[in-house]
Amino acid sequence: MRETLAALADLTRIHFFFVWPLLFCSGLLLAFQNYGGFSWGLVGRAALIGLLGFEAGLVLNDYVDREYDRREINGSLTRYWRPFGERPIPAGRISPRAAFAVFLALAVPAAALAATLPAPHNLYVLGIMGYSYAVEWFYQTKKRRQTLPVAQIVGRTDLALFPVAGYLVYGSPDPTAVLCFLFFYPWALAHLAVNDIVDIENDRARGMATIPVLYGTAGAARWVFLFSAAHAVMAVVFGLALGPVAIAGFGVGIVILGLANYRVLAGAAMRALPLVHATLVVYAATIIAAAVL
């Protein structure tokens, strides 16, 4: 039983669990501010949708890449992402069939909860959920054979849409939803490149055309910087729309992201990755604070 629980913890990256409902609910709190009203029941429902839905996406990631993950030669990123330091499918701790069952066990309740939302909000959230799982599959398979970073450009729309889905639990497609997407999308592209710089040895062994494989680590560092800069511009635009609390919080996040960029340029992408992830928590907390203060 203990080994099974450890394998499930690795499969779901359980030590990051708190980030996903926080990020999802940041969008919901922003919708409450824009449209009026508040419901703890809806917050709880949204938190479960965000948690279960995102965890399902992580499991799907492992399921789709299960054969390629057997080629791992450097486990540093695996140890970072997984509390017990193993990829459970190639390690034989969870079968592919069981992993897919875990995906369904997470995705189906998330979809069922989303379906209980009033129309058209249920359709918004279910549509983004279905799109995100399809795009995750596309990203994992497309990056195996490409000469341009199509997989990355399309694939990271799912992460940028995640807080937007939280917004649409109560809100409607509007300029705030668009700004939210445009704020998180360049961050998602920068984050992905940092992650892939850390994992470049494994991606070369797997034959994956990630950003550093396509353009080298120096090119990937430029990618991180350019999308970080685009994100900083959108932080100003989005912050001005949300108010002084958001401007201050986003400013803190940009400073942390700047330090992460410095570490990437210095050849220390592994030390940069926690900083990039810290900005996501700062942003979610900032959006919530801007909505309630």
Q: Is the pLDDT of residue 203 over 90?
A: yes
- The 3 state secondary structure assigned to 205-235 is HHCCCCHHHHHHHHHHHHHHHHHHHHHHHHH
Q: What average pLDDT does the structure give for the chain? A: 97
Q: How large is the average pLDDT for residues 158-173? A: 98
d(CA 147, CA 30): 39
Cα distance between residue 212 and residue 208, in whole Å = 10
DSSP 62-118: HHHTTTGGGG----HHHHHHSTTS--TTTTTSS-HHHHHHHHHHHHHHHHHHHHTSP
For residue 115, pLDDT over 90 is answered with yes
* Domains of the chain from N-terminus onward: 2-292 (1.10.600)
What is the per-residue pLDDT across 223-278, written as a single tens digit (0 to 9) for each? Answer: 999 999 999 999 999 999 999 999 999 999 999 999 999 999 999 999 999 999 99
Q: What is the distance of C-alpha 158 from the center of its chain?
A: 8
Share of the chain above pLDDT 70, in %: 100
